[in-house]
Amino acid sequence: MRRLLLLIGSAAILVLSGCASTSPEWSSSSADTRRDPRAAKAPRVDLSKQSVSNLMAPSNDLWVQIRQGFQLPELDSPLVEKQTQWLVNRPDYVNRSMARSSRYLFYIVEEVNRRNMPTEIALLPFVESAFNPEAKSTAKAMGIWQFMPRTGQDFKLTQNVFRDERRDVLQSTNAALDYLQRLYKQFGDWQLALAAYNWGEGNVARAIKRNQALRKPTDYESLTMPRETREYVPKLMAYKNIVQNPGAYNIVLPELENHPYFVAIDVTRDIDVDVAAQLAEMSLEDFRNLNPAFNKPVILAAADQQMLLPFARAELFQMNLASYTKPLSSWTALKVTKSETPEQLATRLALNPETIR
């Protein structure tokens, strides 16, 4: 019996069907893209023409590259030492965060370097989310960069029943770096830009105007701001301290080779999430860690989507896909009008109206 997933209040439903395409065709080059091309710098593979193993990359230590790109001035504040000690006293928390970061840091560092930004910015997701792509705040901020719904919309991050790009590693990173660059251009100071990322640019601008009216300095440490924002930059500097000299704090950083952790593959055929994970020989949890933006059990080709696979697993996906003879997707997405009744929809789908109700 077929099952229906009804998306209340939306213009689409998913129908579980046994007649999905079984074609193994899969090509990143055949899909149109609406994305900002700057957001697609992860290695991309046309699986009909190219082997993942052809993507060569250097193997030196990524931590070294991060340290070499540090540019932010030291913050002369006791809060930096306080936040550093907070992390030192919680090695398990630090280790979990560092382990999660290993999936995403290479891509983020590459984007930060391409934009000539300080590499401290690549550490900001430690502060925002501990690099948890599923992180969601009480204020509904989401993803490793903790985008609020409205800010995500401002930066063209899709948020619908199928996909929330605030959790998408590529799209949210591109949007976050765009936002931070805009804030730096506005305030001319990275510490103020970071404060604005946390507190809002309007709040920082008003705090600066208040100090100007009182003939007071307008640097980060001189502004009056909420406690969370006051501690925001010190938290980032605490992570910088640990990355700069982990041995001084008895912390062992995970080994991070300086090459891509994942490759981006354009989805040109509908595919179930569990089938994609199966073909890549990954657990569902590991697959979702790289593809947390997908809200439904199917990845739709019509939505111009990509999936990320670990560098080592994409080759397996390529080989297994070539020999896979079962349907790639058991779900079919259909658009419905707001005026369409259950009876009309049942007739169109050859189903009992009670199934839809």
Cα separation, 75 vs 264, in Å, equals 38
Where on the phi/psi map is residue 174: left (φ > 0), alpha (ψ -120 to 50), or beta?
alpha
Q: Phi first, then psi: what are they for 117, rounded to 5°?
A: -95, 155
Cα separation, 69 vs 110, in Å, equals 11
User: Which residues touch 348 (CB under 8 Å, ≥6 apart)?
Assistant: none
**Spatial strand order in the sheet of 331-335:** 4-6, 12-16, 331-335
Taking Cα atoms as reference points, which of 18, 23, 4, 7 lies closest to residue 348?
4
For 12, the enclosing helix (H) or strand (E) is strand 12-16
Sign of the C-alpha dihedral, residues 286, 292, 297, 298?
negative
User: Which residues touch 283 (CB under 8 Å, ≥6 apart)?
Assistant: 277
Q: Which of 110, 120, 128, 165 is catalytic?
A: 128
Cα separation, 107 vs 57, in Å, equals 13
Cα separation, 156 vs 151, in Å, equals 9
Our answer to whether residue 128 is catalytic in this structure is yes
Cα separation, 55 vs 263, in Å, equals 9
User: Which residues touch 86 (CB under 8 Å, ≥6 apart)?
Assistant: 238
What does the block give as tokens for 89?
Answer: 């006293």
Q: Which residues are catalytic?
A: 128
